[in-house]
Chain A
């Protein structure tokens, strides 16, 4: 089985500062990794995904994430955040042997003007 740990439940950051949201996973099989964003009162939207290949993945809205197999991590980064990035961010993992998706508990990113 897989599981996901998001190490920070809340991350406040000033506008135009860089941010990193941390995600660690555990799995006994090869995994696919995802980051989703949830804006207030909305459903989840895919930011980026890692399936295979290059370990640095670029997504929408200037976000990127790096897959680190040895550290079983998939941290999300953005070099300069905007007010509009204030949202809940979820890391998710699925395995190539099944269809279950496991989500982390989420990180609430608050961008301070």
Chain B
């Protein structure tokens, strides 16, 4: 158990809908990262927040947005969903911001868009 929690575990929704994925980092970690894992694209970095502020952006679509709240939990919002958004979404946390800090991964949220 990494100490990172993600809810829900599974999510099934229809095209065009909007969903919110939630992540609680390990106690004491200030950084939260979001990743998308799909069969054809592998593990793609989406976005990073550090202590409430956006710190780095990866291959995140404009239909997707994220935020980190004062209690440090984070939410990833996916809107106008398409079939291709079906994937496993991981959240990871680290104690600080920077490429040398280990990331601890949550168990993921499996999103299925029908």
B103–A101 contact, CB under 8 A? yes
B-contact bits for A68-107, CB 8 A (1 contact / 0 none)? 0000000000000000000000100011101111111110
Q: For chains A and B in complex, what number of residue pairs have CB atoms within 8 angstroms?
A: 63
Docked CA distance A36–B31 (Å): 19
Docked CA distance A31–B97 (Å): 15
A99–B105 contact, CB under 8 A? no
Q: A44 on the interface (CB 8 Å rule)?
A: yes
Docked CA distance A35–B56 (Å): 21
A24 to chain B, nearest CB (A): 15
Contact flag A102-B45 (CB < 8 Å), given A32-B99, A46-B102, A94-B100: yes
Q: A51 on the interface (CB 8 Å rule)?
A: yes
Q: A28 on the interface (CB 8 Å rule)?
A: no
Q: B98 on the interface (CB 8 Å rule)?
A: yes
B90–A98 contact, CB under 8 A? no
Selected from A36, A43, A99, A102, the residue in CB contact (under 8 A) with B107 is: A43
Q: A45 on the interface (CB 8 Å rule)?
A: yes
Contact flag A104-B42 (CB < 8 Å), given A94-B99, A94-B100, A99-B99: yes
Q: Which 3 A-B pairs have the closest CB atoms?
A: A94-B99, A43-B105, A99-B56
Could you list some 29 contacts between A and B, CB below 8 A? A32-B99, A32-B100, A36-B105, A41-B107, A42-B107, A43-B90, A43-B92, A44-B43, A44-B105, A46-B103, A49-B102, A94-B100, A96-B99, A96-B100, A98-B56, A99-B31, A99-B50, A99-B55, A99-B56, A99-B97, A100-B56, A100-B58, A101-B45, A102-B45, A103-B43, A103-B44, A105-B42, A106-B42, A106-B43
Besides A103-B45, A104-B42, 14 more A-B contacts (Cβ < 8 Å) are A32-B99, A41-B107, A43-B2, A43-B4, A44-B90, A96-B100, A98-B99, A99-B50, A99-B99, A101-B33, A101-B99, A103-B35, A103-B44, A106-B42
